Amino acid sequence: MLEILYHVTSKVVRSWNGDEGAQGNLKPKGGERVAIIPGGPPSFRSDDFRIDLVNKQITGTPIEEPPDYKDLLERATSDAERLDILSRAMRLKE
């Protein structure tokens, strides 16, 4: 079971607690509520977790992990390919 603290209007998840022995410690403030849903925490990273009360789950837009540029550079076969990989890596940092 997963205890979730969320904002009532926006459904944005503020916090969660998957430790059933420690549940009951989330304290809602104004405009917040606590819900208990089956299952555990989401298996993906996201910047915008929301609670779906109808389906009793947490949703969100998964964050795509950037490629391993070090590995790509090691496998590159030409200077042009290495330059392309480095320019893509630099654009991600901006």
> Regarding beta strands 2-7 and 13-17, do their DSSP bridges make them parallel or antiparallel, or are they unpaired?
antiparallel
Long-range contacts of 21-26 (CB under 8 A, 24+ apart): none
Mean pLDDT, range 71-90, rounded to an integer:
83
Q: How far apart are CA 72 and CA 63, in angstroms?
A: 20
- pLDDT at site 83: 86
User: 91 by DSSP, 3-state: which?
Assistant: helix
pTM reported for the whole predicted model: 0.64
User: 83 by DSSP, 3-state: which?
Assistant: helix
- Name the amino acid, one letter, at 47: D
